[in-house]
Structure 1
Amino acid sequence: MPKVLFVCLGNICRSPMAEGLMRQYSKERGYILQIDSAGTSSWEEGNLPHPGTQAILKREGVDFTTMHSRPITKEDFYLFDWIIGMDKRNMADLLELAPNGMENKIYLYMDAIDGKQGQEIPDPWYSGQFEKTYQMLMEGMKPWLIRFKEEA
């Protein structure tokens, strides 16, 4: 079973939204993944997802009540097969934190989408654009699931 970790800055907006949506998307298609999310900072540690993320997940029928922000750990780099950042700052932080030999597990979310390589998912904590975040994440669900299946 592929193990996937979605990562953003505080682990209250983008990464828990990606975690919940991918868990639901893959399960609906009969493919079970081990999925979690984390942040590159500990600023929000222990907090539930942002109310904007909660609203999207609730609308989509995704339970978020057990999701609590946590910072990424060194162990995560060994445990997870895929560590997927939302923006270039996340990527830089992840590459800096990664133990030697683990850099090949780190990916930018939008890189899985043809024609969108290198694009970032902006942090809705600053913009309030949680619907845009949802739409960008959903655009990547199918291509990521295909990659998880192919490379499992």
Structure 2
Amino acid sequence: MKVIFVCLGNICRSPMAEAMFYQLLVTNHLTDQVSVSSRATSSEEEGNRPHPGTRQILEEHHLDDRGHRSTPIKRQDFYDADLIIGMDAMNMRHLRTIAPKGEQDKVRAINDLTPGHQGEPIPDPWYTLRFDDTYNSLKRSLPYWLDYVKERLD
């Protein structure tokens, strides 16, 4: 199974989600069955490393960004992935607009499965500089995505 997290620039939220989800996969011995990556809806940051705020949070929590570089989402990603998770309404609109016909059901919002938080975005810390809030929001939502993925592996 292949999971892709997506945000605007792929330097804040989605690489943080990727690193956190990868650690969940490692902890649950699923790296041989599930791959995770992240992408951008914009090409503005293409090739750039994660934002310093993201790198700091990952370091504080002993998470590896695995040499991440910002990469825009491409049409082929929709065919290759099993699950594409956007961070906010703007990401979701963009993803649904560019998703090929028949592949739109793979696109989901980050809090779709989070009880009491469905429909809530994860605000972009590039603007807010609240990287701890981003980490905590992802920490709350990602275990539900792990359960979702595990159910589909059985």
Q: Which runs of 4+ in 1 moved over 2 A?
A: none
Q: Cα distance, 1:62 vs. partner? A: 1.7
* Residue 9 of structure 2 corresponds to residue 14 of structure 1: no
Question: Could you say what secondary structure the match of 2:112 adopts?
Answer: helix
Is the Cα–Cα contact under 8 Å of residues 6 and 83 in structure 1 kept in the other structure?
A: yes
Question: Could you say what secondary structure the match of 2:146 adopts?
Answer: helix
Instruction: Give the TM-score normalised by the residue count of structure 1.
Output: 0.97
Q: Cα distance, 1:115 vs. partner? A: 1.4
Deviations 1:42-65 (A, max 9, x none): 000000000000001111112225
Q: Which runs of 5+ in 1 are unaligned?
A: none
Q: Which runs of 5+ in 2 are unaligned?
A: none
Deviations 1:75-116 (A, max 9, x none): 000010000000000000000010001100000001111111
Corresponding residue of 2:97: 96
When the two chains are superposed, the root-mean-square deviation of aligned CA atoms in Å is 0.9
How far apart are the structure 1 equivalents of 2:147 and 2:50? Answer: 27
Corresponding residue of 1:82: 83
Corresponding residue of 2:137: 136
Instruction: Give the TM-score normalised by the residue count of structure 2.
Output: 0.95
Q: Percent identity?
A: 46
Question: Could you say what secondary structure the match of 1:100 adopts?
Answer: coil
Corresponding residue of 2:48: 47
Which region of structure 1 is more displaced relative to structure 2, 60-69 or 96-105?
Answer: 60-69
Corresponding residue of 2:149: 148
How far apart are the structure 2 equivalents of 1:64 and 1:151? Answer: 26
Q: Cα distance, 1:31 vs. partner? A: 2.0
Which region of structure 1 is more displaced relative to structure 2, 31-40 or 88-97?
Answer: 31-40
* Residue 24 of structure 2 corresponds to residue 25 of structure 1: yes
Is the Cα–Cα contact under 8 Å of residues 48 and 65 in structure 1 kept in the other structure?
A: no
Which region of structure 1 is more displaced relative to structure 2, 82-91 or 139-148?
Answer: 139-148
One-letter code aligned to 2:29 = G
Corresponding residue of 1:113: 114
Count of aligned positions:
151
How far apart are the structure 2 equivalents of 1:65 and 1:137? Answer: 18
One-letter code aligned to 1:22 = F
One-letter code aligned to 1:64 = D
Question: Could you say what secondary structure the match of 1:110 adopts?
Answer: coil
